[in-house]
Each structure stands twice: as C-alpha cells, then as structure tokens.
Amino acid sequence: MKKILTTLFVISCGLAYGQSSLKPKINAAADAVEKKVITWRRDFHEHPELGNMEVRTAKIVADHLRSLGMEVQEKVAVTGVVGILKGGKPGPVVALRADMDCLPVTERGDLAFKSTVSTVYNGQKTGLMHACGHDSHVAILMGVAEVLSSMKNDIAGTVKFIFQPAEEGVYDPTLLKNGKSGAELMVMEGVMENPKVDAVFGLHISSVTEVGTIGYRSGATMAAVDEFSIKVNGKQTHGANPWGGIDPIVTASQIVMGLQTIISRSVNITENPAIVTVGSIHGGIRQNIISESLDMIGTIRTFGTEQRDLVHKRINDVAVNIAESAGAKADVIIKTGYPVTYNDPALTEKMIGSLENLAGKSNVQVQPVQTGAEDFSFFQQKVPGFFFFLGGKPKNVKVGFPHHTPDFYIDESGFTLGVKSLSALTVDYMEMNAPKTTDNEASAVGKKGKKN
C-alpha cells in the first residue's frame, strides 16, 4: 500500500508540472501530423470565407472529424462544426475551439497559396484574406483531433472540438440568427452542454511574437468590444454662406476631438486601458454644399463593467452636448459586443506548467492586456477557460506584420507547438481532474497488489 501511495504522489507531482504520461505519445503524433496541418492551413488560406459563409471550410472539417470516428454535429450556429471524442476512461469534458472566418482584406504578399478570392463588402469591391490567422487555428485543431483520436483508449474524459464561425462578425445581416452569431450563438444553441463542458481552451496565432514562444495572461486578457454610431443633424446651406445653416462636418470634427478626452480625462488608465476610436465618417456630396447631416461609426475597448458604463455615458454626453452647443443635434447608438476575454486565474495557474514543459519556461511569458477582442469570452462566461497566444513571427524578422493587414504573415514552423499545447492541456486537465478513487477502491487495489 505504501508503494502505491508513493507512486500516486509522484504521479500527482508530475502532473502539476505538466508531465502527463501521454506526453511522449502526444509529441510523436504531433510531429507526425505537422505536414498535414500545414497543407490544411494553406488550403484554407487560399480559399477564405467570411463569417457564417464558411461552407467549404466546415465540410472539410466535418469530413476529417468523421474519418477519425467522431460524433459530428454540423450547421451549429449556421456553419459551425462540433466533434465529440469520447475517451476510453471516465473523466471531465474539455472543449477546444478554433475560429474559421476570414476578413475583407486584399492580400498583398506573393505566397504560392495567396488568396485571389474577392467580394463586394459595404458597397466596395475587396479581396478576402485570412489576415488574422484563423486558417492556422482550424488546421491546428484538426491536427489536435487526429493526435488525440490516435490515443482515444488512454484518454480519461471527453473532448469537444468546436469549430466556430463568424468570430469577426457577420458581414451579411441576413445570415444572422436571432440577431446573434459566432461564439455567442453557439452558446445559445447549447454547445457547452450535452455533454456539459468543464473547461475550455483556445489559442490565437500571433504574427508579432516570435515563433516557438507562448504568451498568456491571468484574469482580464483581451478587451470588451462595443461599437457606436453617431448621426449629426445640422442645416443644409450653400458652402459660400455658412452662416445660413448649421455645419454638421465642423460639429463632427469637434465631437471627434471631444471623444479623445474621454480616455485622457475621464478614465483612470492607471488601472485599465480603454480605447475610443472613430473609424469612419461620411457626410456631404459636393465641395460647395454644407450637408444636412453626417454619420460616424467607431469602436470602444474596455476592461471592466464600471469602466465600460463610464465610457458609454461619456460618449453620449460629449456628442450630444457638443452638437447642442453648435445648434445641431446628435443621435448616439451604442451596441454591446464581446465581453472581456477572462482567463480563470485558478485554471491558468494549474495549466501553465503544461506549456512551460513543452516550450521551455523562458519561452512562456506573461503579456500585457490586449486591446483586441475575442468572442472566445462567451465560452469563458459559461465555464473556466484559458486562452493563450502562439508565436508566429519568423525568428529572422525584427517586426512582424500586424493582424488585419494585407501583408499579414505567419511562420508555419510554429504550428506543431500549437498542436502539442492544446493536446497537452487537454490530457493534463483530465488527469488532474480524474474521478477520485474511494477508500474502498484504494483498499481493493492494495489487496490485489499484495502478495500471498
């Protein structure tokens, strides 16, 4: 019995530092699937699809999961795919997520698998591009599915593979379902239930951090995102006689500058950053006509409920009062978007050892909060979750090309670390949370192991 307890103690200590007994199998299987992952990624990159239009991508994913013997659900939240892998032993349910959609960006690089797909978006012709790395997320998770399926009998629990549409939003409003899309809609349709998920993990490739590294943060990690629209109503007149009307363009210019004082004068940025950005202004039709009205839209990023409420109130106050002072009228609409991406502190602390064991402790670093946003946060609202960043910048490049730009580029040599990371987090979590052995069961094990 003493020997058994000693063995259990050693195993538990090993697990605390990311030493699952399945690690050698995971590493070997991930290395073996590397070429497939790269091939999948290149195919998805060459054939990008916008939110809730990922029909081709979803079919490839579903076919792959079925070939691995999984139970597969399609058309979840319009085009989402969910695969369920039931391990050979009892244990918790772990969800792994990858987003599938692209962006309305015209690719500028000269890759052999460069996207040449185009569309009309907001009345303008544009190319389509995986300019945020979602193609790599899908390919990596397909690799994880293959790795974990190969050791199905050794897995102590169930893995739910979530391939999510529309992380970047839906560009065709007719494709919304009940006014929702993406992770929020998947949660509404029950993706975290049947079987009920205990923890969720996800990653995001990063073009600005070096390949072979992993970044993370406990607690608030990425910002809550909201959008605002402001319509400024003035009075039309001849451009040569501005005193005869009320100029919405001059008024809007003052509003834009006023909005910047919200961050510099109303928000305590020593506690959390915040962002208010006007992204688009449209007004007027001719050089010598002062228009009747003007429209502007923008984005808001915050990291706390009180801060979020404050910024929303100040946007309304600034716009309305500046417009009134000019004799104009401002109508403000604020739409709430994704909540803060929040890494459960207890879960984060437990799982960091898994990543350090794979990448090396010096290559796993705490990052500052990110003012980008992620609808992975909707999954984290239901169960404890951990979201981390996988380095994708080539080692010989000083500064990587930013996400959402025509020159966005990812070093594919980092994909295997992504496959290993998600696989290791899954099995480590399962073994840490395996069903406890009762006293009677432990006694039975002891008697069985005792020599007569």
407 is catalytic: no
Strands laid side by side in the 89-99 sheet:
71-76, 80-86, 156-164, 89-99, 199-210, 385-393, 214-216, 364-366
pLDDT score, position 445: 47
What φ, ψ does residue 353 adopt, rounded to 5°? Answer: -55, -35
pLDDT score, position 435: 87
To the nearest 10°, report the CA torsion of 354, 163, 195, 201.
Answer: 20
pLDDT score, position 436: 78
What φ, ψ does residue 78 adopt, rounded to 5°? Answer: 85, -70
What φ, ψ does residue 436 adopt, rounded to 5°? Answer: -75, 145
101 is catalytic: yes
- Helices 55-67 and 134-149: crossing angle in degrees, nearest 10, is 10
pLDDT score, position 266: 96
Q: Which of 99, 101, 184, 247 is catalytic?
A: 101
Question: pLDDT averaged over consecutive 10-residue blocks of the chain (452 residues)?
Answer: 44 49 94 98 98 98 98 98 97 98 96 97 94 98 98 97 97 92 98 98 98 97 97 98 98 98 94 94 97 98 95 98 98 97 98 97 96 97 98 95 97 98 98 76 49 42
Model-level pTM? 0.89
Distance of CA 376 to the CA centre of its chain: 5
Q: Which of 49, 54, 167, 247 is catalytic?
A: 167
Give residue for tokens 């050979």. Answer: 88
pLDDT score, position 271: 86
